[in-house]
Structure 1
């Protein structure tokens, strides 16, 4: 599915382009992604976990009749907050992005793991609501839409709500409530000491009002110093209000806990069997582990059964993973009035029996995948992103190609470079492209990047070397490296200006290979077995995953020219 051209032309106007003496646009004729993970494959009546592979964390799910919707975090990427639709909980199709206009939020020069955290989606009386936080860029807000595909409203800010992770609970008496993670009433006793709060929410003004009430201080047992109680949701079942929240941080200690009360504002009593979802009690050296499970959101099906979406990760070694935090799905059982997703010592399975819903399509992401983008539409695919809000037009789609304007904005500049890309969704993945580019001056380059954030990335490009055009591999492996990267390898290009050069990056768990081909000839290795762990969250920190991107750069002065409609 393709997005409306309005998504990426919303910032149309003057385009900043290189002066005539500098680099012309980089022309990418196609992009191809392939993934192939050696994991169990679902058979008849089964489905694969994760249901959304790659960097799709903090999934929130809601049901409207026979339709199900999921929204996930995107932090400082734009467009943000992807909206997915399904009718069987297994086959998901992205239908929009809730943050689709640069004017909705301003990600400024924030790190890629700031911005929009842990959205929650709900529906009531024909209106969809997303409650969310823009960390370091405005605080907590609500956006609304009549159609979940968009357009979504501008943010309605919630100045009385501090902290992060807001959610809205609609009670059956017509009242609505907003929950959030906030500071405790006392001085924090330890690092990660947080609290869960509730306040009434007015659906006429879409703002909170009245007193704020403390529901949870620290976690289910503050004497054990639980950290980062967050991501709260309330569900009503059999006359009880169930408060579900993540606890333990989003690394290997992650978990999901439950408390309940007869009143929406508490007091809430924790379950003695908590946590009801975790993988932290399993041996680390188990085969093909799934770890860091939590941030669950529950949904009830028409047959009365319950299911949960949640985040978890698939490390290739220890706690190293490059695919980010992904979206998983499991059934929820209820025993003695409490929910259970995993029992103590139970592993999250890669293959499960499908929910009792009519199959409605093919799973969005499988064990094996091949996607080829020919750039022959009016807009980029919905799942393509850029770093932070655009301030100017620097790309166009025309003639079956993507054109990127080289600008003096680098991958390490904490800004909005001329880069668009899509997620790495498999441990074993290949990204390739064909680029036509004439690097007219020193510093000009265009090519293919594997990027974790501004400080950790690889760039395979056609660049200008001391002896002329060359194919070059650069790397930035931390904040102490130059923001422009360090050259690891290069090879001269003897072709004429603008001759297509094919570039390919192959990920093999913690190792990456970088290759190129000229005029459709055989692939040549520029560098093999490069350290892929620099693209992991364990090394780079933060909450995002690796993105394969197309990128163009020129360090020279720029001149304003009329824009081209993209």
Structure 2
């Protein structure tokens, strides 16, 4: 048996395919880069990160944080031996990443330059023609309830037709988005979420023609379960012919976590989950039989001793990656340069060189051994949590020596470069250049910092902080080195290790 959620982590807007006996999943990552993580599984339950489909975005605005922008809900397909990942950038257009090897390099190109098109999904029909179904971003073009279809060339390099509307859900399915197009037993099916991220439901369109007309049906909703807004995901058929549906649930502070539902067909319509309240619509399952037993129980890496020649796949920057942000070669641990910010005050919300990680548990601790090699006053090496209310604790070089400084921040403008204010909440003089810092996240959706001079005895510093989401993502763990006075410096923070411990079976405590 497996239990939902299969991933208590913010891999939002998932899509999934099977190639042979291997499953591949992609998810949105917005302005965190490298972007569009590619995950692999052999049983649909246990996953590992194997790659990213986007190394960086080819626009100067992504050299700085552009919160809530970037790579939105992607889709993944394989056609004639090529992996195609369709990626919407709501401000720039529809992009496609391609590779013949899911572990290799993906090449990114623009399919169509346009603002407001989102959630694209390709489809190759039996007659050799190719199509793309997509939705619209209300924040960009004022539309949020319509699905359109365009013909594209089979190599996915250009759009060949004007969009035609195949579903207008202004009354039936407000906030319809995330369409995925399939063909099965003589019907074209479009699986789509409706009703909004937090409170919506899963719908299906069905037609004998790819261009419609389509019939509409709701096939999964919350019902009497505690899984709110169960929708937006992908349908995959296993080797044994059984159908599965992978989708998210919005848990707000930690983002959109991943569930796996059994799926079957009833009178030509998909049925997802199980019937629990007699209304004829499926509800999410809490547990179910494993799709396949005896397969590797992959896990997504969290802890890191930075022993390799490059960063682990669990890490993403808050903007386009730059080589001068860090180094892991020729020394012990990870070195993050104490950079200044060229355009703004040096706040965490504005920092392209903030190194982030998606939390993988509901309650956990992160411990880091940190050494500050400060060259100028204001040099700092810190750990923290990014959200619309955020905090970080670091060792900082001051006029009188080293100090452990706890900063708290509040985001006042949440999208694009945005705006934030920060306050130095606590400052504690500290002797030496090395400290072990800890951040503990509790079931209460609060977190707190602690420090230790010897790595054994810990002391709390400051008050508990509220866990909050970031722009279109859950809260993010981060490592950050910077010069807080915005001076050019050759200083750096050295992180010997990061150890993350799952505390989901009991409250974290010092």
Q: Report the TM-score range of the alignment, normalised by the length of the smaller protein.
A: 0.7 to 0.9
Corresponding residue for 1:406?
338
Q: Distance in 2 between matches of 1:482 and 1:101?
A: 23
Q: CA deviation at 1:383?
A: 1.6
Partner of 1:210, secondary structure, is coil
Segments of structure 2 that go 5 or more residues without pairing to the other structure are 492-510
1:553 aligned onto 2:482: yes
Segments of structure 1 that go 5 or more residues without pairing to the other structure are 1-45, 284-288, 315-320, 562-566
- Work out whether residues 104 and 154 of structure 1, in 8 Å CA contact, stay in contact via their aligned partners in 2: no
Corresponding residue for 2:149?
198
Q: Distance in 1 between matches of 2:164 and 2:57?
A: 35
- Work out whether residues 377 and 400 of structure 1, in 8 Å CA contact, stay in contact via their aligned partners in 2: no
Q: CA deviation at 1:290?
A: 3.0
Which of these residues, 324, 332, 342, is aligned with residue 263 of structure 2? 332
Which of these residues, 414, 424, 446, is aligned with residue 381 of structure 2? 446
Corresponding residue for 2:459?
524
Q: Identify if the C-alpha distance between structure 1 residues 349 and 491 changes in structure 2 by more than 3 Å, giving closer, same or farther.
A: farther
What's the TM-score once normalised by structure 1's chain length?
0.78
Corresponding residue for 1:501?
435
Name the count of aligned residue pairs.
473
Q: Distance in 2 between matches of 1:520 and 1:206?
A: 55
Matches within 5 A, 1:401-480: 401-409=333-341, 410-417=346-353, 419-439=354-374, 441-452=376-387, 455-465=388-398, 467-479=400-412
Corresponding residue for 2:500?
none
Q: Distance in 2 between matches of 1:170 and 1:163?
A: 20
Q: Identify if the C-alpha distance between structure 1 residues 161 and 487 changes in structure 2 by more than 3 Å, giving closer, same or farther.
A: closer
Q: Identify if the C-alpha distance between structure 1 residues 358 and 521 changes in structure 2 by more than 3 Å, giving closer, same or farther.
A: closer
Corresponding residue for 1:373?
304
Corresponding residue for 1:249?
196
Which of these residues, 278, 292, 316, is aligned with residue 221 of structure 2? 278
Corresponding residue for 2:287?
351
Corresponding residue for 1:132?
87
Corresponding residue for 1:27?
none
Q: Identify if the C-alpha distance between structure 1 residues 278 and 363 changes in structure 2 by more than 3 Å, giving closer, same or farther.
A: farther
Matches within 5 A, 1:298-309: 298-309=235-246
- Work out whether residues 102 and 390 of structure 1, in 8 Å CA contact, stay in contact via their aligned partners in 2: no
Corresponding residue for 2:186?
239
Q: Identify if the C-alpha distance between structure 1 residues 148 and 296 changes in structure 2 by more than 3 Å, giving closer, same or farther.
A: same
Q: Distance in 1 between matches of 2:113 and 2:325?
A: 35
Q: Distance in 1 between matches of 2:159 and 2:123?
A: 12
- Work out whether residues 192 and 227 of structure 1, in 8 Å CA contact, stay in contact via their aligned partners in 2: no
Matches within 5 A, 1:82-231: 82-101=37-56, 103=58, 107-109=62-64, 111-136=66-91, 138-159=92-113, 163-182=117-136, 193-204=144-155, 206-217=157-168, 219=169, 222-223=170-171, 226-231=173-178
Higher RCO, 1 vs 2 (CA within 8 Å, ≥6 residues apart): 1
Q: Identify if the C-alpha distance between structure 1 residues 471 and 162 changes in structure 2 by more than 3 Å, giving closer, same or farther.
A: closer
Q: CA deviation at 1:91?
A: 2.2
Q: Distance in 2 between matches of 1:264 and 1:55?
A: 33
Range 475-484 or range 230-239, more displaced: 475-484
Q: How large is the RMSD of aligned CA atoms in angstroms?
A: 2.7
Residues 40-94 of structure 1 deviation map (CA, whole Å, 9 limit, x = unaligned): xxxxxx1232233311101010111222110001000011011111222122221
Partner of 2:119, secondary structure, is strand
